[in-house]
Structure 1
Amino acid sequence: MTFSVIARDPMTGDLGIAVSSCILAVGRAVPTARPGVGVVAVQARSRRGLGPSLLHGLEEGATPADLVKRAAHSAEDADRQVAVLDPAGRVAADTGRGSFPVSGHLLGDGMSVQGNMLASPEVLPAMARAFTAARGDLPDRLLAALTAGQDAGGDVRGRQSAALLVVSGSPATDEDDGVRMDLRVDDSGAPVAQLRMLRNLQRAYAERDYEHLALFAPEGARDLYAALAASQRGDRAGARIALEAMRARPGWSAWLAAMAGDSRLAGVSRLLG
């Protein structure tokens, strides 16, 4: 009922999973991850507590292969499908003998794709090829695989939700919780495309791409990003118009005054000064 990809980035050590399904809020059901411990995909009719249990096994020193073998021997989980990845890039997967057709998994170097109730046998090979061929960082490569799976047919029942979760390969600390990305589309007619839009929006926030944010941020904040984008371009008139639009919104004048020391707004002030 689901297709997913788990992988490790050999450059950064980050671990991630991307998943889509024709169920509500697949991000609540399938992916489980912990910085410095690993990533797990639990699919089909697996027990809901299996994901945390597998992560606990990794934390206790078990290998992905050992954990998957133990899960495969659980008679009550005949419709189970699991994949496990650790911070060293070791990966293992299993598709239970009772899993829904078309079902299966494919292992690669530090990655695995898996799915059940797929529209065609080409879904998983297409995902593996796309991940291997993709460029960019881990979230982009995971999304490339998920997109290829959807383009090859995806879930035979249709589409509803998708999720993207990336964590650090190192344990969390007080200064860094280790979660690099946690995006979910819980109910959509085009969940994979919507997930990519969220990824692009998060990238824009991280990289201060104010031109993008001026178009796609929440409507109430677009004037702010339009002012910042105009400041980056050296567009005095554009910055002034955007700031005037912000001041016309209830409460924004007080907010602007409170943010007077913000380095980003200082650039706008210098431009208008």
Structure 2
Amino acid sequence: MTYSLIAKDPETGVIGIIVASRFFACGARVPCVGAHSAIASQAFSNPVWGTEGLRRLEAGEAAQEVLDDLVARDDGRAARQAHLLDSHGDFAAHTGEDCVDWAGHRIGPHHSVAGNMLAGPDVVEATFETFADSSGQPFAERLISAMEAGERLGGDKRGKQAAGMVIHRGEAHSWLDIRTDDHHDPLAELRRLYDVAGERYLHFAEAMPSERNFSGNPDRTALEAAIARGEAERRAAGRVSRSLATGAP
């Protein structure tokens, strides 16, 4: 009922999961992301695979070791699907034999894709290859574009409803966490939300505190100046705000 992409930028260590499905609020259920690892638990999803799995991955356990244990302990393993990234940069994936066709996964050195109840294997292949071929673009843009490529090949064979994207930049807290839970075109809506995030929120995110810099950059003057520069650049390029908020510039 879902397809998702986990990726890690080997240069920066940034980690992200993006998911789309004809299932309500998949962005709340599927992704579990930490500072150094991530897991997507889907199909007949077991949320404990996500919560326990992430805890163990963050503690340094290997992806395949964690996955093998989760599969062995779960009587519902045949209906589960998951893929995960450990803190060492290694991936593992499981697609149970009872996952609804088409179901499968593909793992690469820096990203993995898994899906079930899809229009066909081309959905996973297009998602995987589009991300692989887009190096040099912004990380979030690569995630969204890859999922859009999979959607063009049919995506979830039942249709569209929800999508979500979570990105961490080496911290336990997210750098960006956006989702749409019930929408006729959720990936398009996710892209709009990402565009709106770029107007103000991502400038704020750059100033957020971190474990290494507990105070962050609390200088509101610098933050407002960065937002103003971004707004000026957007207007100079002829792009209007995509925000639906009252009083959006």
TM-score for both structures, normalised by structure 1: 0.74
Are residue 76 (structure 1) and residue 71 (structure 2) matched?
A: no
Are residue 57 (structure 1) and residue 87 (structure 2) matched?
A: no
Give 2:196's aligned amino acid. Answer: L
Deviation of residue 62 (structure 1)?
1.2
1:86-117: CA deviation from partner (whole Å, max 9, x where unpaired)? 23321111101211110000001121000000
- Aligned-partner Cα distance in 2 for 1:194–1:216: 10
- Aligned-partner Cα distance in 2 for 1:146–1:115: 11
Aligned to 2:156: 155
Aligned to 1:203: 198
Deviation of residue 219 (structure 1)?
4.6
% identity of equivalent residues? 34
- Residue 47 of structure 2: SS of its match in structure 1? coil
Give 1:57's aligned amino acid. Answer: R
- Residue 17 of structure 1: SS of its match in structure 2? strand
Give 2:159's aligned amino acid. Answer: G
1:155-197: CA deviation from partner (whole Å, max 9, x where unpaired)? 010000000000123x44xxxx4x1110101111100111111
Match of 2:176 among 169, 176, 181: 181
Residues 1:188 and 1:61: Cα distance change in structure 2 (over 3 Å) = same
For the 8 Å contact 1:42–1:82, the answer to whether it is kept is yes
Give 1:199's aligned amino acid. Answer: Y
For the 8 Å contact 2:192–2:242, the answer to whether it is kept is no
Aligned to 2:46: 47
For the 8 Å contact 2:119–2:156, the answer to whether it is kept is yes
Give 1:147's aligned amino acid. Answer: E
Aligned to 1:262: none
Structure 1, gaps ≥5 residues long:
226-273
Structure 2, gaps ≥5 residues long:
204-225
- Residue 6 of structure 2: SS of its match in structure 1? strand
- Aligned-partner Cα distance in 2 for 1:106–1:77: 19
Q: How does 1:107-186 map to 2 (within 5 A)?
A: 107-134=107-134, 135-169=136-170, 171-172=171-172, 177=173, 179-186=174-181
Query: For structure 1, which segment, 182-191 or 73-82, has the greater mean C-alpha deviation from structure 2 after superposition?
Result: 73-82
Aligned to 2:220: none
Give 2:177's aligned amino acid. Answer: D
- Residue 241 of structure 2: SS of its match in structure 1? helix
Q: How does 1:227-266 map to 2 (within 5 A)?
A: none
Tell me the C-alpha RMSD between the 2 structures. 1.7
Aligned pair count reads 216
- Aligned-partner Cα distance in 2 for 1:34–1:7: 13
Match of 2:188 among 193, 216, 224: 193
- Aligned-partner Cα distance in 1 for 2:80–2:3: 13
Are residue 217 (structure 1) and residue 243 (structure 2) matched?
A: yes
